Amino acid sequence: MRITVAQLNYHIGNFQKNVELMTDAIQKAKLENADLIIFSELSIPGYPPHDLLEHKDFIEKCEEATNAIALKCTGIAAIVGAPVVNQGNSGKKLFNSALLLKEGKVSEIINKSLLPTYDIFDEYRYFEPSTDFHLITLNGVRMAVTICEDLWNEQGFENEFSSSRMYQVSPMDRLAELNPDVIINISASPFSANRSEMKNRIFREKARKHSLPLFMSNQVGGNTELIFDGESLIIDPRGEIYDKLEAFRPDLRTYDLDDVKRGRALASNDGSTYISRIYDGLVLGIRDYFSKMRFMSATLGLSGGIDSAVTLAIAAEALGSDRLRVLLMPSVYSSEHSVTDAVQLAEKLSIKYDIVNIGESFDSVKKSLKPLFDDLPEDVTEENIQARLRSTLLMAVSNKFGNILLNTSNKSEAAVGYGTLYGDMSGSLSVLGDVYKRDVFKLALYINRNVTVIPENSITKPPSAELRPDQKDTDSLPDYEILDSILYQYIELQKPASSITGEGITPALTTNVIRMINNNEYKRFQAPPVLRISSKAFGYGRRMPLVATY
């Protein structure tokens, strides 16, 4: 048997586009004499469709698209992912299903058993879990078809709560009792830079445990916050990676099942690193956000600091310099370097820029407020006024020229509330909102790996909001290396305060940082969507009560 793995970039609800992508892949697979082509989880509607699944006409369009693809399946079979109506008398209205299409119709249906409800997943909201386990036979080959979580139910989290406790059954163990010849897995597994190796290990262990070849098709592309890296896997019965499809781009490859069983590995080290993968993921996230939303151009506030510099460089790679226009908005507190560094970067990237000094506007607002404030001393109020004036100018450019505003705040700042609501927290998409400050510096060095793009001064000067004289981030925050260590242990690892340790970390400091995190939940609730590159990003994958004390 020859099997084609299709790794495609789907657009949620764009049935015409998805059908075109899939039928084109089927034609290519036919040219390679494939017997079977496999697509990813919920490939028909695109993943994740969220509450669109509650609309009857959306489900009907899923069925129409499935039937259209089935008509192309003559002389070849396909496994696609789609929601299927539950015909039973109880339970949720839908199943999350894998459908075998052959000879122009739906031939077999496998329903997903394990429905994740952690982090960004909420599948039990829509789907009924299956309790039926059976194989699919095609051309004499017995296939154990699994849907994402059904195969890697024993994955471990970074914290003490292992997902192996979440489920009472292992679908693959049940299917293994039926003596399959191959494991097929269709996935929609979002990118997480700190869990890529774990994902590979899980699939390798499953193939080794059952001594079976494994074919996994994963989605690629960006869907709002979520970035899918692809990297579909083909693993031999000894648990060795036979091949891995491209990262962060569509790919399609065909394999002879007997070759995979023999284990002649094709995979090689792609040379990617933790930081290069974050960079590639953010580029894809921006590019797909704009293309799928049909946004044409972007803007941001270029301050001369490292966050806006890295954001601009990534956006230029994703969209092209001709689709960007930035504002430099110095104040009386801005250093000379801030303006010259920002100009140097914009010119290096050939990006149109405008300089609008906010000093006059700031003085005007203070004059208007003087009768209210009387002789009260200046404080954070005046700092925030400047940030909000900059946001007003950026949104004016956005409205006038149609440029979508990119937010440049990093995860460290967002975590502790070091940002101004309706000011520097404004934007339609947060590019660095899941990137800790220490990794922002690493991204800058990566961007400069071959040629200096980001000015050296933007990287080496002490971070500052420049909203008061001689201001430094460290006036309000611990050193970022220490802060980020606390944040990672508390947010990603979900450690209690008493277990957070490390160089320079004290119980008092930990308590203070956690208090800042919890007290600023209301700010993050109003922040733009954050491109997710970690296992625990701010947004709907981390749901905390606003009104709470803990």
Q: Angle, nearest 10°, between helix axes 56-70 and 15-31? A: 20
Give CA–CA dist 439/484, Å, rounded.
10
First to last CA, the chain: 57
Both tokens of residue 528? 């733009």
Q: Which of 242, 162, 248 is nearest to 204 (CA)?
A: 242
129 φ, ψ to 5°?
-70, 140
List, in sequence order, every beta strand (DSSP E) within 211-351.
214-218, 220-223, 226-229, 233-235, 241-244, 251-256, 297-299, 325-328
Give catalytic status of residue 41 as yes or no. yes
112 part of the active site? yes
Widest CA span of the chain, in angstroms?
A: 87
What phi and psi values does residue 390 have, to the nearest 5 degrees? -65, -40
Rounded Cα–Cα distance for residues 80 and 101 (Å): 8
The burial class, CB within 10 Å (0-12 / 13-18 / 19+), for 347 is exposed
Q: How far apart are CA 390 and CA 422, in angstroms?
A: 10
Which has the closest alpha carbon to 102: 126, 130, 124, 70? 70
- The answer to whether 346 and 339 have CB atoms below 8 angstroms apart is no
The label of the residue with tokens 């299409």 reads 101
Catalytic residue selected from 41, 108, 149, 466: 41
Could you tell me the two tokens for 190?
């979002």
Catalytic residue among 148, 442, 523, 536: 148
What are 378's strand-pairing partners? none
Q: List Cβ neighbours of 4 (8 Å cut-off, separation of 6 or more).
A: 25, 28, 29, 32, 34, 36, 37, 38, 252, 253, 254, 255
- Measure the CA–CA gap between 275 and 277, rounded to whole angstroms: 5
Per DSSP bridges, beta strands 325-328 and 352-355 are parallel
Q: For residue 259, which of 2, 457, 534 has the smallest C-alpha distance?
A: 2
Residue 269: CB atoms within 10 Å: 5
Q: Beta-strand (E) ranges in 112-194?
A: 136-138, 141-147, 182-187
For residues 219 and 147, the answer to whether their CB atoms sit within 8 Å is no
Residue 199 appears among annotated catalytic residues: no
The catalytic residue among 102, 112, 206, 495 is: 112
Distance (Å, whole) CA 484 – CA 369: 38
Q: Which residues does the annotation mark as catalytic?
A: 41, 112, 148
